[in-house]
Every structure is written in structure tokens, then in C-alpha cells.
Amino acid sequence: MKKELLMASALVSTLGVASVAHAVDATMAGSMKIGVEFESADDASTDTNNVKDQSNFNISLSQMSDSGTTYSTSFEIVDEGTVEADDDNALKLTFQSGHAVELLNAGSAAGTHAVSVPSASGEQGVGGTSTNNAPTGVSFSAPSTALGVEWHSPADFLTDGFKMSASISTDDGTAKSATPRTENSWGVGATYVTTAGDTTLTIGGGYGAGETAKTGTQGPDPENFNLGISAVTGDLTVGVAFGDGDQVNDETGGVYEQVDGSVVVAGISYAASDDITLALGMTSGEAKDSTTIGTAGTTDDSYDSVGASVTYTVASGVSAVLGYTTVDTNNEGASTTDGGSAWYVGATMSF
């Protein structure tokens, strides 16, 4: 309870430092994607064709107080067959010094500085088994709760091209149960940007950890380490990133698995002209999982995918996309029928 009271006091006192004279400024952005996916599953499954009709709408709100502090937040509405509102939005305070603090729903600093790696465009994908716990993103096990704060340094902090973040969070005060929950977490992350000749290098990553609470046998505490690098030379971008971590996954039906996993993602994109962009990306993840909490798994789950795409700018804000992805999966050391390949042909209109 003391932790929650301290966090509430900090929020109230921070918001009270200055008055806002005018209504907030609002900006909006979004896109509409429509196309068709042709999915060819492994021999044991049926090929499918799916119409992809997806839209998203984002509104960003900001206002500067009389003292020079900028208050900002945002929300997003996504329609992928079922309308969903993004309610995991922090209130961000950016001070004149360049330092910033996110209050509530801040997330983990371990994921904030994960390097963006080029990947194939399009909405193609191949579904996998729900019990395959091989990770596909480098910050897959960075823990956090909604009751969290994150601090961001200004740009060129300590040295040119360097910035960093740190985060902490606590639990919601509910009693322990058989369902694992994050009791508290912390994370740190940093990004460094430099140049080498005509190439701009970005190096980034972070580490996050926490404590999990549950009744009965305790599983591994969640943690994540990720590191990546990208290089941009003219119209060419190349990137690679690595992530490693432990977590406990809810497999539904009261089944929980502890997971020790790692993943590598790599990609390349090239703007062949003002209108055409080519992209190629790959993901290779593996994990050992176990339904016996407290006992490490012994056999591997794996997920390997390669995707490529061509994006053509038809007009300002309008692009046509042709994408292809192939996926190979293994579950508990054995090949599964969840792999396959998929094509996507569609268009995106953005504003």
C-alpha cells in the first residue's frame, strides 16, 4: 500500500506544478489497409484465402503549461474485424531541460530502446500452435504493470548521440492466486547514434527484470535482455537484433508454462526509387518451456520465418504492397503442421 500511495502522491504533485491556460492541441493520423492473403499451409492443413480489411485511427494530445512543461498523451482505435481501443496510454511530461517522465502505463525501458529492424510489409502471416512459445520479438519478456513510471533523458545526454531511459512499476494490490502476476519490475535502456563516413549507426537495447507472485510453486521471475544495431547508408537500411529472457505464459484453461527463450531478427530495406521500396526480413526464435512450474523444459520450440515485400507509392499517402512470408515451426522438438507460406496483395491509404 505504501508504494501505491507514494506513486499517487507523485502524480498529483507533478500535475499541480502549473496551470494550463488553453485547451490541448490535438493531431490525428491513421490508415486504411485492404487486400487479400493467400495462405498455403503444410500438407496436413487446408489452404485459405482471406480478405484483410484493417483500419486504425490515432489522436495525439499535447499542451504546454505556463512553466514550459509539455503534457502529452495519445489513444488509438484499431479495427481488425473487432474494434479495439488502445487504453495502455501514459501521461507524458516533457520539461524544458529535455528530461521527460511517463506516468501510468509507462511500460518497460528495456523495450523502449529496442532497435527497429527492417521487415517485410504486408498483412501476410501463418498461424502457429498456441503451445509453441518460441519468441518472435526481442523485448518479449520485459515485465511491467500499469502502475509504472518511466524517465527519459534528453537527447545528447552525457555525450553526443546518447539517450537513455529507466522505469519502475508495482502491482495492483490484489491478493496472490494461482495465476502468476508481476509484483514489481524495473528496466533500463539506452540508444547511441553515431556516423561512420556516409553511414549512420544506431545501437540500442535494454535490460528489464521483475518479481512474479503466485500461490503454490513459484516459477522463474521475468527478465529480458535485448541488443540491436542498424545502419543506414543512403537508401539502404540494414539491421539485426537479439533478445533473451524468461517468463511464465498463460496458456488458458489454468495451464501455465515457464519459458526460457531467445530470438534473432534481421532485415534489409532498399528504396530502389522514389516510388519503390524493397524489404527482406527474417526471424528465428527458440524456447524451452515446461508446464511443471519450477522445473525447466528440456525440448525446444522453434519459430523460423523469412519474408519479402515490394511497396509501390501510387500517390501521396497511397501505396500498393506485394508481400510473401514462409514459416517453419517445431513444438517440443517435433515438426508441426502449423508452418507454411502466405502471399499478400493490397493497398494502404494513410493520413
Higher pLDDT, 231 or 1: 231
Higher pLDDT, 115 or 47: 115
- With the CA atoms of 100, 229, 207 and 70 taken in that order, what torsion angle do they form, in degrees rounded to the nearest 10? 10
Cell numbers 486504411: residue:
32
Which residues fall within 8 angstroms of residue 21, CB to CB, at 6 or more apart? 65, 66
In the chain, where are the structural domains located? 2-16+32-350
The pLDDT value recorded for residue 275 is 95
> What pLDDT, on the 0 to 100 scale, is given for residue 43?
57
For the chain, give the percent of residues with pLDDT over 90: 58
CB atoms within 10 A of CB 236: 13
Q: Note the pLDDT tens digit of each residue in 322-337.
A: 999 999 988 887 776 6
Residue in the block written with cell 531511459: 165
* Measured CA distances, 167 to 34, 62, 108, 162, 179 (Å): 38, 22, 6, 18, 24
Q: What is the largest CA-CA distance in the chain?
A: 65
Higher pLDDT, 203 or 249: 203
DSSP string, 251-311: -STT-EEEEEEEEEEEEEEEE-SSSEEEEEEEEEEEEEEESSTTS---SEEEEEEEEEEEE
- Answer whether CATH 3.40.140.10 is correct for domain 2-16+32-350: no
Nearest CA among 88, 41, 72, 21 for reference residue 327 = 41
CB 189 within 8 A of CB 153: no
Model pLDDT for residues 280-326, shown as the tens digit of each residue: 999 999 999 888 877 778 888 899 999 999 999 999 999 999 999 99
Residue 173: its pLDDT value, please?
A: 79
pTM, two decimals, is 0.84
Query: pLDDT band at residue 1, thresholds of 50, 70 and 90?
Result: very low
